[in-house]
A and B are shown apart, each in its own frame.
Chain A
Amino acid sequence: MFIVCALVPRNHQDHLPSGRGVINSGSCLAGMIKVPGGSYHPFLHRKGQPAVVKVYPFYLDVNAVTNEDFLAFVRANPVWARSRAPRLFADAGYLKQWAGDFEIGDDKIKNSPVINVSWFAANAYARWKGKRLPALSEWEYAAAAPPVGMNRGPQLTRIILGWYDRPNPTVLPQVQSTYKNIYGLYDMHGLVWEWVEDFNGVIIQGENRGISNFSCAAGSLNSINKKDYASFMRFAFREGLQARYTVRSLGFRCAKDCEREMLL
């Protein structure tokens, strides 16, 4: 039995700078794991919306994208080099941990998650790989899975909150240095925060745009699960982001639709 990737892009065209001359970079599902479908209880619940969201099966990278992975992307798409990336798509902190445009510098972080990448850069990387960023619901669903050998429950929340409390390490550890969850995904919590495709669907409260400025259809916010403090932290963090921002503790991993591969 062979698993073959159908080379059908999800969208008809890539159009960020990386979209020009995109090369599909090899094996489709290497380093990915199929996350079974299920249901996700949104942290924010909207009036008139179901309290449970269905998550369809999808593939997710086992590890966060590393500095070395990202270097390969930048080499293939020099417009994404640190000194060249348009400021519209990445702020001045983009890849500042690197020694140069095409040079990581410190060998110790080669295999650590890439950080200081904007949403645009992460999105461009994902598309170059023939993948996409995970949807917020997919990421939260996958990340809610407990470590191997642990039951669902407050234990994972304690681990997460413990990590949120600790200051960023001077040298970011390598991928697979925290835990593997029951789906086989590493470091969903404990190393970096991760971009999701639709982080800008999040609204809790902002300086300029409170809930009042966010309306339409069945838009009003009904309730949040106040007990889920770890989720609240992530949602608050996403609320403060813009797609061009780069953050020292923010990386990403890629996802892929399941219907894209065919079983022969």
Chain B
Amino acid sequence: MKTNRILLGLAALTLAACHRTPITKSRSCCAKENAATTATKFMPEAAGGSVYQLTGSWTDQHDRLLTLSKLQGHPQVVAMIFTHCLSVCPRIVEEMKAIRDSLPASVKEKVGGVLVSFDPERDTPAQMRMFAMKRQLDDHWELLQGSDNQVRELSMVLNVRYQKLSGGNFTHSSDIFILDQNGNIIQSLDGLGRNIHRADSILNRMATKD
């Protein structure tokens, strides 16, 4: 099942983050190639490393200022959305919740969820707080508002494509990203649930690391 694979992937990430258990998957000669060719759009080496190199301050749903590097230390499930989106974004968020919910409690505890808004104008901390309540997103979630330029830059780093439409809504790609504890993009998944088997490469990735 797709969720099982993600589960294993996140479990692997979390374990790696804690340096408790070595990943024991065999170092198949093909694993790396598979990861590179079939699944991951951005391998950390290729993409230049941690997303947390972006250093600006964001405001979260509790009105707290934070830099992305505050997310360091735990794997994160990340997507860019806007709360007025009625069609795609709710599905992306549900998919992200499903990913976290599929993890054993002890692992889930260590995996964060991050939603960054395309729409800083309307997605104020108060609006994000309401959205979090409505979608039942607990304290493991950060809902971030930044400046237009910050949002554009993050989209560039993640290779998310978006455009503001007249009327104030956005058209955007629907990826979900799995970041490791250092902010490297380990995997990008289709937020609408197709191709989610690609999460396999998380395992490949972790197995061929070190």
Which A residues form the contact surface with B (CB < 8 A)? 10-17, 19-20, 46, 49-50, 53, 86-89, 91, 119-120, 123, 127, 132, 197-198, 200-203, 208-209, 213-219, 242-244
- C-alpha gap A235/B40 in the complex (Å): 25
Q: In the complex, are the beta carbons of B174 and A213 less than 8 A apart?
A: yes
Which B residues form the contact surface with A (CB < 8 A)? 41, 47-51, 53-57, 85, 87-89, 147-150, 152-153, 155-157, 159-167, 169-174, 190, 192
CB distance from B75 to the nearest CB of A (A): 19
Q: Which B residue sits closest to A85, measured CB to CB?
A: B48
If over half of A's interface residues share one DSSP class (helix, strand or loop), that class is named, otherwise mixed; here it is loop
Q: Which B residue sits closest to A220, measured CB to CB?
A: B171
Q: Which residues of the other chain, B, contact A53 by a CB distance below 8 angstroms?
A: 166
Q: Which residues of the other chain, B, contact A203 by a CB distance below 8 angstroms?
A: 161, 173
Q: Which residues of the other chain, A, contact B171 by a CB distance below 8 angstroms?
A: 46, 201, 214-219
Contacting B88 at CB < 8 Å: which of A12, A86, A215, A243?
A: A215
CB distance from A244 to the nearest CB of B (A): 6
- C-alpha gap A91/B156 in the complex (Å): 13
27 A-B pairs in the complex with CB atoms less than 8 angstroms apart:
A10-B148, A11-B148, A13-B56, A14-B56, A15-B55, A46-B171, A49-B166, A86-B53, A87-B47, A87-B48, A88-B48, A89-B48, A91-B48, A120-B153, A120-B156, A197-B152, A200-B156, A200-B160, A200-B162, A201-B171, A214-B174, A216-B87, A216-B89, A216-B170, A216-B171, A242-B156, A243-B153
Q: Which B residue sits closest to A219, measured CB to CB?
A: B171
Q: Which B residue sits closest to A13, measured CB to CB?
A: B56
- C-alpha gap A119/B159 in the complex (Å): 12
Q: Which residues of the other chain, B, contact A19 by a CB distance below 8 angstroms?
A: 55-56
